[in-house]
Structure 1
């Protein structure tokens, strides 16, 4: 079967590899190149322990305080406030107990599938040299903050996540020295893994797909047109018909959705980070400062400090003061961190209001399959998503229940 995958980030590259292994003639297209967007600038984590949706019960009580801080963990630029309002209403609805419980189960099921698929991928393509199995430490300032996190740890326990609690700066320092003693408690997930560099990982996946016969082209797709059999992909190079098309363009998918007659609440979590050179800090494990909305992680031989969520769309100018604010906090929390010589970055993480990606066929045609909207979990869920996409393209029933991920789950999905 002739298949076109639109988007060469980690989702699209992974789908292309799985599809070419399944015997299809695959063409991978991207407007900017492989790993040109969020897939190069993320934290590089396989965050299988992050089963909890962003929209949790009671989240909207905290949101106003966050939103008033332009450099806080959640921010909406005033110029984008009216535009994002409908999305925030959906986000608030997703935090209600009934929706939250359903999303938690769906996320847990997706994590199990993705972890299994990743293990198989690493073994099949000998990718272990790109994996860092160094665990992750989630840090808390004081007993009150630690106790407030217990409900989340209970949900992780139910999902089968292995972890241990650390009490006191001395216990924390046994795993990661150099953390300010204000952090008195931590949860450590020893089975957590990172890639050595997310850009290198994504390019390797794309290279393996091409080695097996997939074709990559740098092309700006302007329209997808379902045909009587298959679908036609339009770009500045002309039009080409395929038997199946996979839309995995992440945050850049909205214009193409409109050409397909759909209007989905696909937004962007604008993520900021600074990557420091080798020697900046002797990092032993992935560090998560949950209450401050950022992480510190090893990338190559350097250290990346980044995170937070800015709901600001794709056209407003970056506010790099957010990256600087994260770096300032990191210096307070890791006193020996050398913050000189860093490279700043901002990228667009494609995000749905219920924290679940869109995976499934177009409601009117099986010729177009969607795989986007993974938020900050694109790398984590890439192998599982690729397996599901291959099943859908081949007409097989996926092992994952796709009901929570279907594109028609949002009211008003028709453009």
Structure 2
């Protein structure tokens, strides 16, 4: 850990040691910068530790266009369903919901789709390179995913989204009957059709992968400073970062990658960003709970089942409830009960429950770019796609910090778009 209080020209401080901040540290350290990462809990200890572990490079449809508005009334009627909003939180959430509804308007579709597809293409290329450079490629599982449908109507409703993927060359294959049973033995017969996405990837375990990427960054000279940031401000001598523990640092450049807390820091710099927190739940069962061959996606129920080297993870769903409400683990239990119906014979004992905060913006695109304050850069708001887009985001942050032309057009990801 660097001991200096004042940084030189090549120093960068990153707030946030989730997967986005870790990847940014690796890219900047590779480029020769002296990097310090600050986090209150440690390396990859929060949302990046308990996610569904997917590299969802084919997931190019913005959330507002994935049938959510069509399903909203039905889902909200079920307090333990795919989407929940605590009634007491609804007044505070209303402005964000309005923006989300507008993001789903037809006139916004093409721009959002193209921006997301371009980001995914970059993210996949950058992740494969980073895995190779860091010696972590063996942690990648390339088994594909299986999206499952309970009726012909549900399948038909999905076809528009698959047609959109056709435009970007994303391979997939629809199947049913014996082929479905062969790809996932033991699946309930209530699922009549499925879509196999062969290019879908997962990691053995997201927390283990994140810590391995950090070990690579640390080997290149990146340092970690435990602490909670209370204040950031631009000064004549650089960017000042004040920790609640009493220490003050000055950096030549600052990257804010603090996930669901990032907008609170951005507000101190004059950027008001409508970030909301999608609280996700899961239960990680023992490894032998069921022989799941690849990630299973139950889109009609808003959750997935992922085989990890450390267990079988059942989770997902969305609870728009902010940062301060206590967890409602009845939601993870409800998903586990459904999983037991969908996979008869699933052993549901011995699981470990978890809740994490997804930092989400109304148009499903992250904020990547410059703040209003010089020498401060944003890298947050990836929603369900933080792990998927982390390496692509890191490449873009390195481009910005180095003064190079970004690898893709950053206008759709600007903090000022709101």
The TM-score normalised by the length of structure 1 is 0.96
Q: State the partner residue of 1:355.
A: 364
Give the aligned CA root-mean-square deviation in angstroms. 1.1
Change (3 A) 1:333 1:31: same
Change (3 A) 1:185 1:61: closer
**Residue pairs, 1:26-175, within 5 angstroms:** 26-56=35-65, 59-168=68-177, 170-175=178-183
Secondary structure of the residue that 1:55 maps to in structure 2?
A: helix
**Residue pairs, 1:189-268, within 5 angstroms:** 189-235=197-243, 236-268=245-277
Q: Which one of 397, 406, 413 corresponds to residue 405 of structure 1?
A: 413
Contact 2:269 2:372 in 1 (8 A): no
Change (3 A) 1:58 1:206: closer
Q: State the partner residue of 2:404.
A: 396
Write the distance in 2 (CA, Å) between the matches of 1:344 and 1:7: 24
**Residue pairs, 1:275-286, within 5 angstroms:** 275-286=284-295
Unaligned runs of 5+ in 1: 411-415
Contact 2:123 2:390 in 1 (8 A): yes
Deviations 1:357-380 (A, max 9, x none): 000001342x10000000010000
Count of aligned residue pairs for this structure pair: 408
Write the distance in 1 (CA, Å) between the matches of 2:67 and 2:202: 31
Q: Which one of 267, 279, 284 corresponds to residue 270 of structure 1?
A: 279
CA-CA distance at 1:58 after TM superposition: 6.4
CA-CA distance at 1:181 after TM superposition: 0.8
Secondary structure of the residue that 2:65 maps to in structure 1?
A: coil
Write the distance in 2 (CA, Å) between the matches of 1:255 and 1:173: 48
Contact 1:57 1:96 in 2 (8 A): no
**Residue pairs, 1:325-404, within 5 angstroms:** 325-365=334-374, 367-404=375-412
Deviations 1:250-271 (A, max 9, x none): 0022321222122211111100
Contact 1:167 1:185 in 2 (8 A): yes
Write the distance in 1 (CA, Å) between the matches of 2:94 and 2:112: 21
1:177 is the counterpart of 2:185: yes
Write the distance in 2 (CA, Å) between the matches of 1:239 and 1:133: 44
CA-CA distance at 1:57 after TM superposition: 7.6
Write the distance in 2 (CA, Å) between the matches of 1:123 and 1:35: 20
Write the distance in 2 (CA, Å) between the matches of 1:192 and 1:230: 42
Q: Which one of 25, 30, 33 corresponds to residue 24 of structure 1?
A: 33
Write the distance in 1 (CA, Å) between the matches of 2:235 and 2:405: 24
The TM-score normalised by the length of structure 2 is 0.96
Contact 1:55 1:100 in 2 (8 A): no
